[in-house]
A and B are shown apart, each in its own frame.
Chain A
Amino acid sequence: MTGILAGFFLYFAIVLGIGFAAMYYRPIKSIDDFILGQRAFGSVVSGLAAGTTLASGYAFIGLVAMGYQMGFLALYQAIFCPILDFVCWRFLGPKMRRYSEKYNVITPVEMLAHLRGDPYNLIKIIGGLVVGVFMFVYLGSNFMAGGKAAHVLNVDYNVAVIGSSILVILYTMSGGATAVYWTDALQGALMILLCIIMPVTALNQVGGFSAFIQKLYEIDPILPSWSGGKAGWPLFVALWMWTSVAVGFLGQPQSLQKFITIESEKRLPAGAFIAVFFNMMRQYFPLILGMCGRILFPTLSDPEYTTPTFISQYFPNLVGGLLLAAIFAAIMSTTDSLLLQGTSELVRNVLQHGILKNKQLSKQFYERASRVVTLLLGVTALILALLGVDTVFFLVLLAFAGLASSIGPAMFAGFYWRRTTSWGILAGIITGTLATFIWYNGSNKLFGLHEGLPSFIIASIAVVVVSLLTKPSDVEREL
């Protein structure tokens, strides 16, 4: 246990060190520096930062449990998500990067507002608030996830929540985007290590690939089956769910932000490859680990205990500590991006270009405002996480689908359909959020289907219909 703790603290110290190094090497003088980090991120850092941003604590706890319970049927997540992640990089990446530089637009919501104009500032304020609120609940639930992960490891919940969240708040506040991206890259590397070491060891313990399949089959023949023993409507519902989850990759602002901050458009394809490959690995290997866990620990009280049980049994040393740290890396690399994105959208859109639009305030004011909002967002989410306010954080269940439906259709339409109007974009943002809520809260999720895909489709229809019903925009932005 001492070895494990040593590895764990070593990791925390390194992350904090990187955060502060960012502050000295790339000092922040304005809100642009805070959000963009001087756009000095290459393919590797951008790809890993984008990949880790979307891999929360769920990756090594929830996904492993899913593999444990569902077998091969869970692998669709590792198929569909990377494909739609690629679609996002390929079709939004180059356009967003070019647009951002040409028009000095630095966040996804600001871009939506700028594409066809925003005469009443509604896109900026409503879009900024939607993203800010979703980021906030996402943030709080990630803090809670850190605490739960630590609890599984016999570390006190409050100590873990306070420790990991203060660390994240500190380095995000001091180093802005640079600290977030650099630490994300390190955390991504650690997660890759975990992705490789654990399943390889697990497969070895099971007795190799043939034994793995045979033993899974002996436990339950539906485990090593592409259909999970389902047919007809239940199979459709299962495949719909995976597609629906994957659609969430089409409009996460904290991920789209990486297209804006990458060094140049030329870096995008390599960044895409790294992000998509990482995305596949961090889903595929935990699922395989879960399936091995089903063979190695068939009587676990809760499948979510698979990873900690595996580490404490097979790696009771420094390596085990680093592997456990990788679980926290997944949580923290998501948390810091959420904190940064929430702050960016709120300060840039709701304050600078929204409520305080007509006030002449200095660069320093917004630079300080960014740090203060980071602190406020982080500390409030931390307090709610410590109080275990589930009534607020139930919203996180909707955050992934809600964000994608609000931002994705409007962004794609804005870039690929000339007839899109600013009212259409606003309708997409509002409808995407509402449709997710309504579908989710409908009687037993309408038709038993996951809300992600329907709300994305409904928001897309809203963009088209409202655009056609409103006057074509006078604003024509050339790329």
Chain B
Amino acid sequence: MKYLSFGDYFVLFIGPLIGPLLALVWMIQSARQEQNATKD
């Protein structure tokens, strides 16, 4: 879109997702660790 630069797209779409994505990664990591611990 001609009105928006990369910076504009970043604050509108990418930036707000950083926090939730970090939390999602932690959740997946913990679930995997728990699964591995159960197997052991």
| Contact of B27 (CB < 8 Å), options: A79, A217, A224, A269 | A269
- Contact: B11 with A86, CB < 8 Å? no
Residues from chain A with Cβ under 8 Å of B4 in the complex: 213, 224
A79 to B10, CA, bound (A): 10
- Contact: B23 with A276, CB < 8 Å? yes
| Contact of B16 (CB < 8 Å), options: A217, A273, A280 | A280
Interface bin, chain A: 35 or more
> In this assembly, does A210 line the interface, its C-beta being within 8 Å of a C-beta of chain B?
yes
Known interface pairs A213-B3, A273-B24; A78-B30 also in contact (CB < 8 Å): no
Residues from chain A with Cβ under 8 Å of B19 in the complex: 79, 81-86, 276, 279-280
Known interface pairs A213-B3, A224-B8; A79-B18 also in contact (CB < 8 Å): yes
Interface of B is mostly: helix
Known interface pairs A83-B19, A214-B3; A90-B26 also in contact (CB < 8 Å): yes
- Contact: A79 with B23, CB < 8 Å? no
| Contact of A89 (CB < 8 Å), options: B12, B17, B23 | B23
Chain B nearest CB from A95 CB (Å) reads 14
> In this assembly, does A284 line the interface, its C-beta being within 8 Å of a C-beta of chain B?
yes
A225 to B10, CA, bound (A): 10
- Contact: A266 with B30, CB < 8 Å? yes
A127 to B27, CA, bound (A): 33
> In this assembly, does B36 line the interface, its C-beta being within 8 Å of a C-beta of chain A?
no
Q: In the complex, which of the residues B3, B11, B29, B30 has the most CB atoms of chain A within 10 Å of its own CB atom?
A: B11
Q: Can you list 7 A-B contacts (CB < 8 A)?
A: A82-B18, A82-B19, A83-B19, A90-B23, A268-B30, A269-B29, A277-B23
Residues of A within 8 A of B (CB): 72, 75-76, 78-79, 81-86, 89-90, 210, 213-214, 217, 221, 224-227, 266, 268-270, 272-273, 275-277, 279-280, 283-284
